[in-house]
A = this chain, B = another copy of it.
Amino acid sequence: MNTTKRTEISSLGEFGLIDHITQGITPTNKETVKGIGDDAAILSFEGDVETLVSTDLLMEGVHFDLTYFPLRHLGYKAVVANISDIYAMNGTPKQITVSLALSRKFCIEDVEELYSGIKLACNRYGVDLIGGDTTSSLTGLAISITAIGTAPKGTAVKRDGAKETDLICVTGNLGAAYMGLQLLEREKIVADGKDVQPDFQGKEYILERQLKPEARNEIIEKLREENIRPTSMIDVSDGLSSELMHICKQSGVGCRIYEERIPIDYQTAIMAEELNMNVITCALNGGEDFELLFTVPIADHEKVAAMKDVRVIGHIVSDSMGLALITRDGVEMELKAQGWTPNKD
């Protein structure tokens, strides 16, 4: 590697690194409407639709732990995570490519399991598996998925359109996937080699949110039916705080969200208590919920308030006011986001 100068990636963090590396990258083809910096890129070739492209790379030991994550579920989740980005652009996913790198520990039956989950998700969301690459790796499993979708020209919703007084909405509930992960990690430590069958009774929901998440396609359809066009939208994959920061940064605005408005499931709250964790922190920073976070003009208040499974959690303010959570006792707390930093080598 570089021996003359060495700046650790951790000094910038994930988002800092991406900003740094992609500086000065400007599309030159007329067909590229929007490049780096959103859930998906927007391409416009011909006709009245735009093409949306989103991609993810998942690494064993970083993004998933096969000691408790069944391969079938992993395949399903990997697809959902990608097409969720297409929905978050207000688009419809149409195709995916799947690339796998497999080490020798995997056998054909394993690959079949993984693909059965991939195919199940494809069927569930009406997406075609159109190609990919299958290769070997020295250690572990790597999965790279690219999702392709469409949206009628000009209807894709980016992260940069939130305006002062817009309402901030979120679907479903938050923190459940993260709590499911904590539970699985705890049982892994408890079991550690012993062949005990953990008791997950009463915790089925948080486990399902971690192991078999769904994308919120029905919300996208409902928004269209109700004639609500979000001013900005993103899916909650890295945690609410992190996603709010993306929207606010790219829209040049600030925000206020209210602790008491953040939707949390009963099982999530119970699990947080069991683990002695602050449930709001989990909801703010726990990722992989794949809920949709979006902003709408205040004029749409009645319409979104009446929508099933959508909660107004706050509003957009001016840039100078920053990003804050108002706690139940009225205290303003600055929102902070976390990205990844590299693991051991």
Q: Does A333 contact B (CB under 8 A)?
A: no
Q: Do A342 and B130 touch across chains, with their CB atoms under 8 A apart?
A: no
Looking at A29-37, A203-211, A212-220, A264-272, the stretch in contact with chain B turns out to be A29-37
User: Number of contacting residues on A, CB 8 A?
Assistant: 95
Q: Does A308 contact B (CB under 8 A)?
A: no
* Complex Cα gap A40–B132 (Å): 9
Q: Do A107 and B7 touch across chains, with their CB atoms under 8 A apart?
A: yes
Known: A35-B131, A94-B32. A111 touches B56 (CB 8 A): no
* Complex Cα gap A344–B106 (Å): 11
Q: Do B139 and A108 touch across chains, with their CB atoms under 8 A apart?
A: no
A window 57-114: CB within 8 A of B: 57-63, 66, 71, 94-95, 97, 99-113
Which residues of B are found within 8 Å of A20, using beta-carbon distances? Answer: 108
Which residues of B are found within 8 Å of A2, using beta-carbon distances? Answer: 107, 109-110, 113
Known: A131-B36, A150-B45, A343-B104. A59 touches B136 (CB 8 A): yes
Q: In the assembled complex, how far is the CB of residue A28 from the closest CB belonging to chain B, in whole angstroms?
A: 6
Q: Do B18 and A134 touch across chains, with their CB atoms under 8 A apart?
A: yes
Looking at A46-54, A251-259, A290-298, A322-330, the stretch in contact with chain B turns out to be A46-54
Q: Do A1 and B101 touch across chains, with their CB atoms under 8 A apart?
A: no
Q: Does A241 contact B (CB under 8 A)?
A: no
Q: In the assembled complex, how far is the CB of residue A332 from the closest CB belonging to chain B, in whole angstroms?
A: 32
Q: Does A312 contact B (CB under 8 A)?
A: no
* Complex Cα gap A113–B57 (Å): 20
Q: In the assembled complex, how far is the CB of residue A250 from the closest CB belonging to chain B, in whole angstroms?
A: 14
Q: Does A43 contact B (CB under 8 A)?
A: yes
A window 297-316: CB within 8 A of B: none
* Complex Cα gap A27–B122 (Å): 10
Known: A57-B100, A140-B138. A7 touches B133 (CB 8 A): no
Max chain B Cβ within 10 angstroms of own Cβ: one of A14, A105, A126, A148: A148
Q: Does A165 contact B (CB under 8 A)?
A: no
Which residues of B are found within 8 Å of A200, using beta-carbon distances? Answer: none
Q: Do B342 and A109 touch across chains, with their CB atoms under 8 A apart?
A: no
Instruction: For A99, give its contact among B40, B55, B129, B139 (CB under 8 Å).
Output: B55
* Complex Cα gap A31–B96 (Å): 13
Known: A45-B47, A45-B49, A95-B43. A138 touches B135 (CB 8 A): no
Q: Do A45 and B51 touch across chains, with their CB atoms under 8 A apart?
A: yes
List 29 contacting pairs A-B, 8 Å CB cutoff, sorted by A: A1-B71, A2-B107, A8-B108, A11-B108, A17-B108, A18-B134, A21-B111, A27-B130, A29-B95, A35-B128, A35-B130, A38-B131, A40-B131, A43-B95, A45-B49, A53-B131, A55-B99, A55-B146, A57-B100, A57-B142, A57-B144, A61-B138, A63-B135, A97-B146, A99-B144, A103-B343, A104-B342, A104-B344, A139-B140
